[in-house]
Copies of this chain bind each other. A is one copy, B any other.
Amino acid sequence: MRLNKITIIGVGLIGGSFAKGIKKAQLCNQITGFGLDEKELQKAINLNVIDDYCLDIASAVKDADLILLSVPLGAMQKVLTDIKPYVTEKTIITDVGSAKTSVLTAVKTVFNKIPTRFVAGHPIAGKEKSGVEAACDALFKAHKVILTPTSETDKHALEQVQHLWQALGADVSEMTPEFHDEVFAATSHLPHLLAFGLVNLLNDHEELGNVFQYTAGGFRDFTRIASSDATMWRDISMSNSDSIVKWLKNYQQELDHLINLVETHESDKIYDFFSQAKKARDTHIQ
C-alpha cells in the first residue's frame, strides 16, 4: 500500500498535518508540496513536513499517485482547472473541504464528469492556529473523517484514501455529499455564524460602552469560534449557502419560540426548555 508520491496542494495546518502523519507512518516515498507562497513551502521543508516543493503545478502533480487538495473552498475550482491537464486516469485526487456538494460541482464543471478516482473528503479536525507551523502528525487521531463517495467512485481509490486517514488514527465514515452538507450546516456552520453574529451585535452597540469587559469564561468559550479565519468562513458560507440559510432560519424559529416563552413568563416551559438542552448536551457531548 506504500505510495511513491503524494502531492499536497496547500501546505497549511490540514495539508501539513496530513503530510506529517503520512511521513511518520512511512506510507509514501516522497511528499511534494505546492503553494503560492515560497516562504511557506520552505518553512514546510525546514519543519520536515514535506520532502520537496514545486512552484509550478505541472511539476508538482507530475507522477503523483495521490493529490490532496487542501485549499480554501473558494480556490477549489481554479486548482482543479490547473491540475486537470496533468492528472492521469491512475491519479487519485482527494480534498479536505468543509462543504462537499460544491466541491463535487466544481469537479464536474472542470472535468465534465466526476473522475472515478476523485474521492471527496472532510476531516473534522482543526485548531485555533492555522499555517504549517501549527501542523501536527496527531491532528486527526481519534477525529472523524467523512468521505462522500458517489456510486461511480472507484473502489480501490476509496479504499486507498480511507486507508491513509485510518493510518493517521482517524475514524473514517461515509455519507452522501447532501447529507454531509446538511449535518455540518447544522453542527458546524450554524454555530460559527451565530458566534460571529453575537460578537458583531455587541461590538456595534456603542451606547453600552465596551461591554466585552464584563464578559466571563462562558462568553469566551461561546465566541471562541468567532476568532476563526474570515476567508475560510466566507468560502464555506458561499459554498453551502442553501443549507446554511435553512438552518439559520430553523434557528430563528427556535428563538421565536423561546422569546415567546420569556415574554409571556412561562416559567415551567422555560425550565423545560433549558433542562432539555442541558440533558441533551450532558448526554451527547463529553
Cα–Cα distance between A220 and B126 once the two chains are bound (Å):
13
Cα–Cα distance between A13 and B7 once the two chains are bound (Å):
55
Interface of chain A residues 233 through 285 with chain B (CB within 8 A): 233-234, 237-238, 241, 244-245, 248-252, 254-256, 258-259, 262-263, 265, 267, 270-271, 273-278, 280-282, 284-285
State which size class the interface on A falls in: 35 or more
Interface of chain A residues 119 through 155 with chain B (CB within 8 A): 124-126, 143-144, 146
CB <8 Å contact, B218 and A254? no
Q: A3 contacts the other chain (Cβ, under 8 Å)?
A: no
Q: A112 contacts the other chain (Cβ, under 8 Å)?
A: no
Cα–Cα distance between A215 and B40 once the two chains are bound (Å):
30
List B contacts of A211 (CB < 8 A). 183, 186-187
Partner of A255, one of B222, B224, B251: B251
- Min CB distance A152 to B, Å, is 25
If A208-B183, A273-B196, A278-B230 touch, does A245 touch B219 (CB 8 Å cutoff)? no
Query: Interface segment, A57-65, A85-93, A161-169, A197-205?
Result: A197-205
Q: A192 contacts the other chain (Cβ, under 8 Å)?
A: yes
Cα–Cα distance between A235 and B64 once the two chains are bound (Å):
62
CB <8 Å contact, A218 and B214? no
Interface of chain A residues 95 through 124 with chain B (CB within 8 A): 124
Q: Which 4 A-B pairs have the closest CB atoms?
A: A212-B284, A230-B274, A230-B275, A196-B277
User: Can you list 14 residue pairs at the A/B interface with Cβ under 8 Å?
Assistant: A124-B214, A179-B208, A187-B214, A188-B218, A190-B198, A193-B262, A196-B273, A212-B280, A220-B285, A230-B274, A233-B274, A238-B265, A245-B259, A252-B259
Query: Beyond the given A126-B216, A195-B277, A252-B259, could you list 10 further A-B residue pairs with CB under 8 A, ordered by the A residue number?
Result: A179-B208, A184-B214, A195-B222, A201-B251, A203-B280, A222-B225, A230-B278, A234-B274, A238-B265, A252-B255
Instruction: Using CB atoms and an 8 Å cutoff, list the residues of chain A in contact with chain B.
Output: 124-126, 143-144, 146, 179, 182-184, 186-188, 190-203, 205, 208, 210-231, 233-234, 237-238, 241, 244-245, 248-252, 254-256, 258-259, 262-263, 265, 267, 270-271, 273-278, 280-282, 284-285
